Amino acid sequence: MKHFKLIFLLAAAIGLAGCQSKVQYGDATEVETVNENFGSTDLQAITSKMVDSMLTFPPVMVLTANDRPIVFVDKIKNKTSEHIDTESVTDSISNKLLRSGKFRFIDMTKVDSVRKQLDYQNNAGMVDPSTAINFGRQIGAQYMLYGNLSSIVKQDGSTTDVYYKMTMRLMDLETGLIEWSDEKEIRKVRSKSFLGL
C-alpha cells in the first residue's frame, strides 16, 4: 500500500509539473507561426514593403527631395473576417516614414482632443491670453495615406489556406491624384494532422 501511495504521489507531482506554464521573452522580429491568422510577422512584412516601396518610388523621391510633405494617415480598412488591429499597422508605417526624415504627419485621431484644449485655452478664462494658442494656426495636410487589408480564406478538409492583401495609396489632397500605390500579398497554409494538431 505504501508503495502504491508513493507511485501515485510521484505520478501526481510529474503531472502537475507538466501542467506548469513558462513565460519567456522572444525575438520580436522572429518569424511567428503559431497559426494561420494575421500576426506580428505579417505586420512587419507589410510595414517594410510599404515604406520601402513609397520611399524609393521615383515621383515620391522628387516630392521629398527638397521638402517634407505633410501627410495624414486615414484608418486602414479591415476587410478581412478576422479582428485585426489595423491601427497598429498604420502606426508602424507612419512611424517608419516619419523616422525616414522625408515626411511630417498630422495625427487626425487627436483632433477632438486638440480642439478641446484650444477651446479651454481661448474661452475658459483660466489661461493667460498671451500664452494661449490661437485657433486657425495649424498647418493642413497636403497628402492622405490610406489603405485596405483584405483576405480570402479557403478550407478543404484539414487544410486552411489564407491569402492576405494590403493595398495602400498616397493621394494629393489638392488635385485628388494618386501619387503612389502598392500592395503586399501574404499566403499562409495550415494543414492539420490526423491527431488534430
Name the one residue in this structure whose C-alpha cell is 522628387.
Answer: 62
The verdict on residue 28 lying in a domain is no
- Whether 179 is in a domain gets the answer yes
Domain total of the chain: 1
DSSP string, 98-142: HHTTS-EEE-GGGHHHHHHHHHHHHHSS-S-TTTSPPTT-SPPPS
Domain membership of residue 53 (yes or no) is yes
pTM: 0.75
Q: 175: which residues sit within 8 A by CB, 6+ positions away?
A: none
User: pLDDT at position 15, please?
Assistant: 59
Q: Which helix (H) or strand (E) holds 161?
A: strand 159-172
- What CATH code is carried by the domain that includes residue 48? 3.40.50.10610
CA dist list (Å): 73 to 92, 141, 153 = 11, 10, 28
- Whether 26 is in a domain gets the answer no
The parent domain of residue 126 ranges over: 37-189
Query: What CA dihedral angle connects 104, 106, 109 and 113, to 10 degrees?
Result: 130
pLDDT at 5: 65
C-alpha count within 13 angstroms, C-beta hemisphere, residue 112:
1
Domain contains 153:
yes
| 75: in domain | yes
CA–CA separation, 128 vs 85, rounded Å? 41
Query: What string of pLDDT tens digits covers the 197 residues of the chain?
Result: 566 666 666 666 565 555 567 776 656 566 656 556 676 788 888 888 999 999 999 999 999 999 999 999 998 899 988 888 888 888 989 999 999 999 999 988 888 898 899 989 888 888 988 888 888 888 899 999 999 999 888 888 888 888 989 999 999 999 999 999 999 998 888 887 655 55
Residue 52 lies in a domain: yes
Q: Domain for residue 104, yes or no?
A: yes
